[in-house]
Amino acid sequence: MVPPENLSITMTAETTASAITPGSAALHAGALIETRDLRKTYGAGGAEITVLSGVTVSVEPGKLIAVVGPSGAGKSTFLHLLAALDTPTSGTVYFEGKAIDSFQENELANYRNRSLGFVWQRHHLLADFTAAENVAMPLLMRGAGYDEALETSERWLREVGLGERVRQRAGELSGGEQQRVAIARALVQKPALLLADEPTGDLDERNAMAVFELMQRLHREHQLTSILATHNTILAGRADRVLQLEHGKLRPVEA
């Protein structure tokens, strides 16, 4: 089944892994990111656990997609595969029509560091560094000058509502403020793709809504393609499309 609204979802669990090669053309020419027959298993023999079982999904530019499912369903694993932070057991992830498992080392580094931004449930900020220094880290790691990186990071912190906190140490910020810093850090290099793994999971209801609305605004204003994993069905319902991940299968949730 291929649902409407410019998001193509096709389940092809019967497709054989041997039919998928790194050089194969992507399924949908207009997609920013897609997967074909993506499978992920852990363990071996009788102890083998299947997390993803033949997931084929295509996401066009500019869409905000929510992936929901129970704890342990594989939402984090799915995002890690999209981000090339893990490798599938079989199947292929494509970015802009090219299989990421065919990327050369420098292409893979650019993909991880520039083409996508990642927001974690736990912000992973450096507590003794300022908010501005934390946001500047991706720029400094790619060789930007310190002053230039700080100027850019402060601009992003103003955009997420923390213009008065740029010189505050990350460890002194509230949970909601820390997650805003993490969002600014994910976007400081102006990626095309934003992946977020339970970005409101550690926040209270009020802060969760505020952070989600911030991400919606940034998604819209910066013309991002965003994929958000969440257990919060209320927030998920505000996305362009909701996908349910359960028992290794990714299926559309109809409104």
98 in a structural domain: yes
Q: Which residues neighbour 251 within 8 Å (Cβ) at sequence distance 6 or greater?
A: 9, 11, 243, 244
Query: In the beta sheet, which residues pair with residue 225?
Result: 193
**pLDDT per residue of the chain (255 residues) written in tens, 0 to 9:** 333 333 333 333 333 222 233 344 556 668 999 999 999 998 866 788 899 999 999 999 999 999 999 888 899 999 999 999 999 999 999 999 999 999 999 999 999 989 999 998 788 899 999 999 999 999 999 899 999 999 999 999 999 999 999 999 999 999 999 999 999 999 999 999 999 999 988 889 999 999 999 999 999 999 999 999 998 889 999 999 999 998 999 999 976
Distance CA 42, CA 207 (A): 35
221 in a structural domain: yes
Q: Which domain holds residue 161?
A: 7-253
Q: What is the CATH number of the domain that holds 160?
A: 3.40.50.300
Nearest alpha-carbon partner for 161 in 148, 146, 179, 147: 179
1 in a structural domain: no
88 in a structural domain: yes
Quote the tokens at residue 107.
């292409």
Taking the model in full, what pTM does it have? 0.86
2 in a structural domain: no
Q: Find the DSSP H helices in the chain.
A: 75-82, 105-110, 131-141, 146-159, 175-187, 205-221, 233-236
Question: Structural domain tally of the chain?
Answer: 1
